[in-house]
Amino acid sequence: MFLPVLFALSFLFSSSNAADFCVGDLNAPQGHAGYSCKKAEAITVNDFVYSGLAATGNTSNRIKAAVTPAFSSQFPRAGFISSDNAVYVKTLGKGDGMVFPQGLLHFQINGGGTPAFALASFSCPSPGIQILDYALFANDIPIDIIRQTTFPDAAQIKKLKKVLGGTG
Ligand SMILES: *[C@@H]1O[C@H](CO)[C@@H](O)[C@H](O)[C@H]1NC(C)=O
């Protein structure tokens, strides 16, 4: 009987998204630890996206150089599916950046029809990366466990395991 797995997960993560991230409230006073957090109802996907790097910097100055910061005041913080299952989706253009809060399920799709280049940076020197498709279908978790904790039927799971190199 494996069903309690999903149940346990939803129980473990039943808190509001307030625990997932803190979007800096740039209108509130800044304290020692930075900005205080915006109220959850006021957070939108745009709090996680910054387009300032898409524009060429102005180098008409003495040192003929430009610095375009992407710090907390440009980029409030942290976004994409929060633990309360809210989805934050945005179509990004060239040079745009987006923050994914640590540990949250996220995705990128190249919708441009041509090769895309993405630069990822992490907040720790040795981040672990877990790809959901591989985690579920590229190993030897018994099909019956996957079937009971997700919803595809055994035939669909077998097909995905075959595509992704899993056994079991
Ligand atoms: C670039 O900087 C110079 C010097 O501050 C300024 O005169 C000029 O208007 C700026 N150009 C743009 C496109 O912002």
For the stretch 25-36, pLDDT in tens is 888 877 777 778
Per-residue pLDDT, 158: 95
Per-residue pLDDT, 166: 92
- Does residue 14 line the site of ligand 1, with CB under 6 A? no
Give the number of other CB atoms < 10 A from CB of residue 109.
Answer: 8
Per-residue pLDDT, 78: 54
Per-residue pLDDT, 76: 58
Per-residue pLDDT, 147: 92
pTM of the predicted protein model: 0.61
Enumerate the domain spans of the chain: 19-48, 63-128, 130-167
- Does residue 123 line the site of ligand 1, with CB under 6 A? no
Residue with the nearest Cα to atom 7 of ligand 1? 60
Whole-number Å distance, alpha carbon 61 to ligand 1 midpoint, is 8
Give me the residues of the chain with pLDDT under 70, please. Answer: 1-19, 72-79
Per-residue pLDDT, 48: 87
Per-residue pLDDT, 18: 55
Per-residue pLDDT, 2: 37
Per-residue pLDDT, 154: 94
Cα(35)–Cα(160) distance, rounded to whole angstroms?
A: 44
